[in-house]
């Protein structure tokens, strides 16, 4: 963003606040299957913690936290995790996203559903985080920010 | 929930919406829309829809405010009408 007069207080405050928002985002993702929240909300919280650094300090400091050219590959990786889980369950003889058929040894059907939902929520969170960061980066591109 | 609390939230919701509509400074309008989203999230939570309220608080009061402020920085602060 337009960082005409960089304020060290704002930079220090956002650097203090950003990891706590990120930890809360991970909490929401990992508790998504038995409490409110899930992949979308947790991914949005992770994106907010990245955008906070991006809006307070320019791209040079923000690139130390999350490189902007990594956004598109990570978004594609999240989609691959989601559809890969569903298609593996389909190949093993079930329906699409039928978690009971996932080939993880030593787990019962209930545990397989538990872990399957966690895996696809990690994929959703990764995609939502990177796509929201990508939207911000493309909105401010072309301007002399920091 | 107590109906008095919901009435206060609805009154503030109307106030923030009217300020966001009538303000000449677009930055004020963006901040008021963020406040509108947060009050809307509180109302969703009082109605028992915790998941919807959570999504509204995160998306409406978090990301949308940042994107609106970026759009204002790219264009202009004052409205023409």
- ipTM exceeding cut-off 0.95 for this assembly: no
Q: Which of A66-80, A113-127, A129-143 has the lowest mean pLDDT?
A: A129-143
Q: Averaged over A61-74, what is the pLDDT?
A: 88
Mutate to test the interface with A, among B53, B57, B59, B71 (most CBs of A within 10 A): B59
d(CA A34, CA A79): 23
What is the overall mean pLDDT for chain A?
A: 86
Interface of B with A (CB under 8 A): 50-51, 54-55, 58-59, 62-63, 66-67, 69-71, 73-74
Interface of A with B in 24-63 (CB under 8 A): 36-38, 40-41, 44-45, 47-48, 51, 55
For A3, the token pair is 């960082």
Spans of chain B below 70 pLDDT: 1, 81
Cross-chain Cβ contact B51/A2 below 8 Å = no
Q: What is the CA radius of gyration of chain A?
A: 18
Which pLDDT tens digit goes with each residue over A11-26?
A: 899 999 999 999 999 9
Quote the pLDDT of residue A139: 86
Quote the pLDDT of residue A144: 47
- Residue ranges of the domains in chain A? 8-140
Quote the pLDDT of residue A145: 42
For B52, the token pair is 């919807």
Can you spell out the DSSP letters for B32-70?
HHHHHHHHHHHHHHHTT-HHHHHHIIIIIIIIHHHHHHH
Please determine, for residue A7, whether its predicted confidence score (pLDDT) is greater than 90: no
Alpha carbons within 13 A on the beta-carbon side of A10: 11
Per the listing, tokens 């509108």 go with B36
Q: Are the C-beta atoms of B36 and A20 separated by less than 8 Å?
A: no
Quote the pLDDT of residue A146: 37
Q: Are the C-beta atoms of A62 and A28 separated by less than 8 Å?
A: no
| SS3 state at B25 | strand
- Residue ranges of the domains in chain B? 3-74
Q: Burial level of B21, CB count in 10 A (0-12/13-18/19+)?
A: exposed
Which pLDDT tens digit goes with each residue over A33-54?
A: 888 888 899 999 999 999 999 8
Can you spell out the DSSP letters for A13-77?
HHHHHHHHHHHHHHHHHHTTTTSS--HHHHHHHHHHHHHHHHHHS-HHHHHHHS-GGGHHHHHHH
Cross-chain Cβ contact B63/A48 below 8 Å = yes
Please determine, for residue A5, whether its predicted confidence score (pLDDT) is greater than 70: no
């Amino acid at each position: 963003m337009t960082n005409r007069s960089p304020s060290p207080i704002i930079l220090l405050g956002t650097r203090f606040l950003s990891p706590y928002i990120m930890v809360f985002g991970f909490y929401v993702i990992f508790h998504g299957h038995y409490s409110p929240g899930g992949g979308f909300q947790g991914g949005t919280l992770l994106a907010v913690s990245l955008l906070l650094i991006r809006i307070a300090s320019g791209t040079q400091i923000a690139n130390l936290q999350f490189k902007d050219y990594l956004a598109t590959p990570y978004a594609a990786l999240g989609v691959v995790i989601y559809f890969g889980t569903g298609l593996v369950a389909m190949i093993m003889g079930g329906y699409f996203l039928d978690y009971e058929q996932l080939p993880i040894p030593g787990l019962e059907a209930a545990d397989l559903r538990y872990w399957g939902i966690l895996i696809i929520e990690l994929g959703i969170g990764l995609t939502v985080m990177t796509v929201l960061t990508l939207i911000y980066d493309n909105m401010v591109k072309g301007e002399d920010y920091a | 929930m107590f109906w008095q609390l919901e009435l206060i939230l609805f009154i503030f919701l109307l106030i923030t919406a009217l300020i966001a509509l009538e303000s000449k400074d677009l930055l004020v309008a963006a901040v008021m829309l963020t406040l509108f989203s947060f009050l809307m999230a509180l109302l969703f939570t009082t109605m028992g829809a915790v998941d919807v309220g959570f999504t509204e608080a995160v998306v409406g009061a978090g990301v949308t405010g940042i994107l609106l402020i970026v759009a204002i920085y790219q264009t202009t602060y004052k409205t023409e009408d």
